[in-house]
Amino acid sequence: MSRERVTDRAFADDNRQFAAKMLAHAKRAAAALGTMPEVLVAQAALETGWGQHVMSGDGGVSSHNLFGIKADPSWHGETVRRATLEYFDGHPVRVTAAFRAYEDYGAAFDDYAKFIQSNPRYQRALERAAEPAAYARELQRAGYATDPDYARKILQIHEQLANQRAVPAG
């Protein structure tokens, strides 16, 4: 057996473990949004590198921020400041920003659902939530992320999850 195949299998196992760990939270948030939990797991996987790069605050305490949600003036909870890559006029620029911090992953999924529901700019995404591809495209169009390939990346991970059967149906 080649070393590459072992590495691929180990990576796939890590992906499945991440997906399984997030599934209950994703189901709750997906029900609130009218979308599929798999698309939310895919978005969290993209934002955190399959859970390997969840931001942490001073002292190494996890922010549990799975969706890269920044701390705007309406946020009254804990925050972490981190460098992030933003795209301006199609060019990547590294900036420092304040991000929301949560007690646990469940709180991150719950806040994500509230964030999407309470923000008028995501209305079209909510209207298309039953269709994962349309939901991801509408999030991108509304400016959820500055990465011009954001929707494509979510959908690519969503497809990987489906192909690996990493997120059990139901």
159 counts as catalytic: no
For the segment 48-98, what is each residue's pLDDT rounded down to a tens digit? 999 999 999 888 999 999 999 999 999 999 999 998 888 888 888 999 999
* Res 5: pLDDT: 34
Residue 158 phi/psi, 5-degree rounding, is -55, -45
* Res 146: pLDDT: 87
Catalytic residue (choose from 8, 86, 103, 104) = 86
Catalytic residue (choose from 38, 47, 111, 138) = 111
Residue 11 has pLDDT above 50, yes or no: no
86 counts as catalytic: yes
Cα gap 162→158, rounded to integer Å: 6
Cα-Cα-Cα-Cα torsion 98, 29, 150, 89, nearest 10 degrees, comes to -40
Asked if residues 84 and 96 have their Cβ atoms less than 8 Å apart, the reply is: yes
pTM for the predicted model, two decimal places: 0.86
Cα gap 152→27, rounded to integer Å: 22
Decide yes or no: CATH 3.90.920.20 for domain 3-164. Answer: no
For the segment 126-164, what is each residue's pLDDT rounded down to a tens digit? 999 999 999 999 999 999 998 899 999 999 999 988 887
Which of 138, 142, 154 has the alpha carbon at shortest distance from 48? 154
Residue 91 phi/psi, 5-degree rounding, is -110, 130
DSSP state of 146: S
